[in-house]
Structure 1
Amino acid sequence: MTKKIFTLFAFLLLFSCSDSEPIAPSETVDYTAKNEQEIKEYLTKNNITTAQRTDSGLYYTISEQGTGTNPTVSSNVTVAYKGYLTNGQVFDQSTTAGVAFPLSNLIKGWQEGIPFFKPGGKGVLFIPAHLGYGGRPQGPIPAGSVIIFEIHLISVN
């Protein structure tokens, strides 16, 4: 009886590990070049000529400077924002009163981009996937997406 159970177990193990059911891939897709091109095309299509690019690939514009001290990654900030994809699909939006966040808990694109703003400042962050959600889909945001945020830094708390 033990031999039959062992044989059945071995058969089930081999059958469940067959080539028809692949194991999750360990490779990571690099969206950097695709995202760079997508951001450049978006900027051109929308006649945005003032965008600046950082070494990491983040693009940003400042439409209103604001006043006071720029936040740091360790700051708590209150931000009103609207997040959307390059096709215009809005995936998140705050109220005009904004939302308070510890900047250190947010995506790298915000950690790098928000410190360009002073309280009262407004602008836009164009965030490539490696500074956003990478190769993971996040709710309505597909894997590898460029995400865009209209930002109003209300205060540094």
Structure 2
Amino acid sequence: MKRTLFALLFASSLMLTSCLKDKSPDPKEIALNEDGNIKNYLAAHPEISATKDTSGVYYQVISPGSGTHSGPNATITIDYSGQLLSGVTFNGQTDYKGKLSDLLRSWQISIPLIAAGGEILIISPSRLAYGTAGTSQIPPNSTVIFDIKLKKIEQ
């Protein structure tokens, strides 16, 4: 009797777990959806003439700055502000200092495009920013926009 009950419970649990589907979003689907959202955002904001990098990040060099550009191991000092595509501001800081290789992937891609004194607008898909986890202020899978002024580069 115990064996029959155990076999029945085991079989039932196998059937239930096989019926459950993985509810995690498909990364390719998220990327396509975000790219569409970015294109819609840009269409609604014709004052922005962003270029799409092969990584998927969009950027607009507002001012190129002058001098050398940062390498991956450079420590940079920036002023920045961040917002969601909806326009909700989530973060900003003046005189933020950090090693470029430790920062968001979209920043690693875009900041080397300008020199000290330059400014860049970055529209980043979630996979190059805060990803599927998000933060307390940023929902998961959120496209984010940064306005960054590069103040100083230490190679």
- TM-score class, shorter-chain normalisation, is 0.7 to 0.9
Equivalent residue, structure 1, for 2:35: 36
1:5-44 map, 5 Å: 27=24, 29-30=26-27, 31-44=30-43
2:136 matches 1:139 = yes
Structure 2 contact 78–148 (Cα < 8 Å) conserved: yes
Structure 2 contact 64–113 (Cα < 8 Å) conserved: no
**Alignment partner of 2:108: what SS?**
helix
Equivalent residue, structure 2, for 1:118: 115
Equivalent residue, structure 1, for 2:99: 102
Which residue identity is paired with 1:79? I
Task: Give the deviation of 1:26 after TM superposition.
Answer: 8.4
Counterpart Cα distance in 2 of 1:26 and 1:72: 40
Counterpart Cα distance in 1 of 2:112 and 2:78: 12
Tell me the matched-pair count: 141
From 102, 125, 129, the equivalent of 1:128 is: 125
Gap runs ≥5 in structure 2? 1-9
| TM superposition score normalised by structure 2 | 0.81
| TM superposition score normalised by structure 1 | 0.80
Equivalent residue, structure 1, for 2:70: 71
- TM-superposition CA deviations, 1:13-55 (whole Å, max 9, x none): x9xx9x6xxx9x6845312001101111111111145211110
Gap runs ≥5 in structure 1? 1-13
How many percent identity over aligned positions? 29
Change (3 A) 1:102 1:26: farther
**Alignment partner of 1:94: what SS?**
strand
Q: Would you tell me which structure has more helix in proportion to its own residues?
A: 2
RMSD value, Cα: 2.5
Counterpart Cα distance in 2 of 1:33 and 1:74: 31
